[in-house]
A and B are shown apart, each in its own frame.
Chain A
């Protein structure tokens, strides 16, 4: 057998860990040992983890900070939910959900692509604020979007339900700020985990392919990348589009897990984009498995702290600040290095111990 390189080994071990967790969680759920709160979090956690993987591709490999990934999640969620709801009685469950996945992913990718064309001309903080602006626009427009369907076809409006001008038998599919209600709840934990693993494999293969190398080269040194003949815009577009598409998959899962889908500041606004960014940074920039771990831990943490009621988010924020200082502050890093307390040193110690045994 061919010798596996480091990153492939890591991928395989993270998939193994995810599968073990999946089995444990499913068994606990089946035997009734999982609280309904935790049980309800299984699919959303996978959805957030997908968005985090997508964002990590953008931040870690394209090297650009996006504060608008919740917007792509939003596009994936609404387009797929719209499709599922519209054809609820016309297409059987399984093919419909597969199509919904394809549609949500496609539209998220399309939006990513269209937004990237102007946005990628900017860089750094300017790019970040423009992606934030796009995310807010998407959320805002969806909040005033009304779509209905009657015998004569689809009706659209940006004003209110009445101006859809539908026949008596018309059905409102997207109801402005009330969003989409009654989407079939088809996102199961199993599907979510499978998609999560697929995303890990896709991103791993991508960054280790010819295209991925080009993207990394552009991130490391754009001018040098140009002088070795890389078309900068093309590869930036590809990376950003894939990143948006993966966030879209997260959106599809999210939408098919809840009864009533609305676009608010907390689920698809900049708050969500920022939350996902926190997962990406704490999980390690460029480390996809790390993003998954950080998402799981940081989503579960506040829920586990629920007993502390009002204190929990306060504790969360203090932990977040503390972690950032611990991991990034140059002074603290130096102290840790001098006392053998860096993550690497600790891991090495741990490994040595294992070898001795």
Chain B
């Protein structure tokens, strides 16, 4: 039963990673940039939910909706100010700017919220299920996290496949110039991608801190890096890849913590990533692109 519990915890953590990884993978797919600041948007989302719930006493759902709206706006603003002017610049320049944005968000949070961690109240009040005569306990957090992740994932896949803006997103990720010629508004599409990614970050932040309640200005940083790893793991640019990568990463991390060493868990996660990339250089679901001679 211990194993099952770990597995479910792993799925739950993996779902959070998957939600964050989505933000990375979509932005990478469309703008070909590593948005290093994405992890910090998660942290902001979590603080927003915390403020609405604990300070203003709003119900969880309302708080999350407000956080999503704010994070979406923040995502769009960041894109407009910091990334859009660099659209035709080298990748490295965009990467460093994203790092700058990441520093900015962290220090902004440090000024507003202080460096002391706050204790996050879970957005899920349901205690969860107790199965097999109390031997297998599944927390409400875990269930809600996993289900939310699946709904978001399939919703997004449907959106990208069947709606006009979704198709525009796919077209832009395939070939920006050709998409422009086809009359697609590339700038609007990229903004939309940032908006969706940042909105999801708010959800991810709320769910992450519901399971790991200590929240400080650097909370988003490590999960952000790991989720990015998950996106690469699954094949960056691919939405189902983010799901698979995120879930696998979460499960590996929790199982490594449980059975090998809690201190070495991160090292093991990264080692698995390296092995996967060496066997399949573009990730599990990634596409191979060869240079034409």
Direct contact of A and B (CB under 8 A): yes
Across chains A and B, which 6 residue pairs bring their CB atoms closest together, nearest first? A317-B103, A133-B270, A328-B93, A140-B267, A320-B100, A329-B85
B281 an interface residue at 8 Å Cβ cutoff? yes
Q: B96 touches which one: A129, A277, A331 (CB < 8 A)? A: A277
Question: B267, A325: Cβ atoms under 8 Å?
Answer: no
**Cα of A125 to Cα of B235 in the assembled complex, Å:** 12
A313-B110, A324-B93, A325-B82 are known contacts. Are A144 and B270 too (CB-CB below 8 A)?
no
User: Interface with B: A5-13, A197-205, A278-286, which one?
Assistant: A278-286
**Cα of A126 to Cα of B233 in the assembled complex, Å:** 10
Question: A328, B90: Cβ atoms under 8 Å?
Answer: yes
Question: B274, A134: Cβ atoms under 8 Å?
Answer: yes
Docked complex: B227-279 residues within 8 A CB-CB of A: 228-229, 232, 236, 261, 263-264, 266-267, 270-271, 273-274, 277-278
**Cα of A223 to Cα of B283 in the assembled complex, Å:** 24
A72 an interface residue at 8 Å Cβ cutoff? no
Interface string of A330-355 (1 = CB under 8 A from B): 11100000000000000000000000
A-B contact list, 19 entries, CB within 8 Å: A125-B34, A126-B277, A126-B282, A130-B274, A130-B277, A132-B225, A136-B270, A137-B267, A141-B264, A158-B261, A223-B293, A265-B222, A274-B99, A277-B99, A278-B99, A314-B104, A317-B103, A318-B104, A330-B89
Question: A136, B92: Cβ atoms under 8 Å?
Answer: no
Q: How many residues of chain B get a CB closer than 8 Å to chain A's CBs?
A: 49
**Cα of A133 to Cα of B275 in the assembled complex, Å:** 11
Kindly list chain B residues whose C-beta atoms are within 8 Å of the C-beta of A329: 85-86, 89
A126-B232, A129-B273, A321-B97 are known contacts. Are A144 and B264 too (CB-CB below 8 A)?
yes
B164 an interface residue at 8 Å Cβ cutoff? no
Question: A121, B228: Cβ atoms under 8 Å?
Answer: no
A interface, CB within 8 angstroms of B: 59, 65, 118, 121-122, 125-126, 128-130, 132-134, 136-137, 140-141, 143-144, 158-159, 177, 223, 265, 270-271, 274, 277-278, 281-282, 285, 310-311, 313-314, 316-318, 320-321, 324-325, 327-332
**Cα of A136 to Cα of B101 in the assembled complex, Å:** 22
A126-B282, A321-B82, A325-B82 are known contacts. Are A270 and B225 too (CB-CB below 8 A)?
yes
Question: B96, A320: Cβ atoms under 8 Å?
Answer: yes
Kindly list chain B residues whose C-beta atoms are within 8 Å of the C-beta of A311: 111
A136-B270, A277-B96, A278-B96 are known contacts. Are A129 and B111 too (CB-CB below 8 A)?
no
B contact patch SS = helix
Give chain A nearest CB distance to B237 CB in angstroms. 10
Question: A316, B93: Cβ atoms under 8 Å?
Answer: no
B108 an interface residue at 8 Å Cβ cutoff? yes
Nearest residue, chain B, Cβ from A320: B100
**Cα of A278 to Cα of B236 in the assembled complex, Å:** 24
Question: A129, B232: Cβ atoms under 8 Å?
Answer: yes
Question: B263, A144: Cβ atoms under 8 Å?
Answer: yes
A118-B274, A278-B99 are known contacts. Are A129 and B229 too (CB-CB below 8 A)?
yes
A contact patch SS = helix
- The winner among A65, A125, A282 for most chain B CB atoms within 10 A is A125
Docked complex: B37-52 residues within 8 A CB-CB of A: none
Question: A324, B110: Cβ atoms under 8 Å?
Answer: no
A121-B278, A328-B89 are known contacts. Are A316 and B103 too (CB-CB below 8 A)?
yes
B185 an interface residue at 8 Å Cβ cutoff? no
Q: B264 touches which one: A158, A281, A313 (CB < 8 A)? A: A158
A125-B236, A129-B232, A134-B274 are known contacts. Are A141 and B86 too (CB-CB below 8 A)?
no
A140-B263, A314-B107 are known contacts. Are A134 and B96 too (CB-CB below 8 A)?
no
A126-B282, A140-B263, A313-B103 are known contacts. Are A332 and B229 too (CB-CB below 8 A)?
no
A126-B282, A133-B229, A140-B264 are known contacts. Are A324 and B100 too (CB-CB below 8 A)?
yes
**Cα of A251 to Cα of B228 in the assembled complex, Å:** 28
Kindly list chain A residues whose C-beta atoms are within 8 Å of the C-beta of B107: 310, 313-314, 316-317
**Cα of A331 to Cα of B86 in the assembled complex, Å:** 8
Question: B108, A321: Cβ atoms under 8 Å?
Answer: no
Kindly list chain A residues whose C-beta atoms are within 8 Å of the C-beta of B89: 328-330
Give chain B nearest CB distance to A305 CB in angstroms. 12
**Cα of A277 to Cα of B100 in the assembled complex, Å:** 12
Q: A324 touches which one: B96, B229, B277, B278 (CB < 8 A)? A: B96
Interface string of B34-78 (1 = CB under 8 A from A): 101000000000000000000000000000000000000000000
Question: A65, B263: Cβ atoms under 8 Å?
Answer: no
Question: A126, B281: Cβ atoms under 8 Å?
Answer: yes
Kindly list chain A residues whose C-beta atoms are within 8 Å of the C-beta of B36: 274
Nearest residue, chain B, Cβ from A135: B270
Question: A321, B93: Cβ atoms under 8 Å?
Answer: no
B291 an interface residue at 8 Å Cβ cutoff? yes
Kindly list chain B residues whose C-beta atoms are within 8 Å of the C-beta of A159: 261
**Cα of A265 to Cα of B82 in the assembled complex, Å:** 26
**Cα of A314 to Cα of B104 in the assembled complex, Å:** 6
Interface string of B104-133 (1 = CB under 8 A from A): 101110110000000000000000000000
**Cα of A207 to Cα of B88 in the assembled complex, Å:** 29
**Cα of A126 to Cα of B87 in the assembled complex, Å:** 21
**Cα of A321 to Cα of B93 in the assembled complex, Å:** 10
Kindly list chain B residues whose C-beta atoms are within 8 Å of the C-beta of A281: 92-93, 96
Question: B273, A133: Cβ atoms under 8 Å?
Answer: yes
Question: A136, B267: Cβ atoms under 8 Å?
Answer: yes
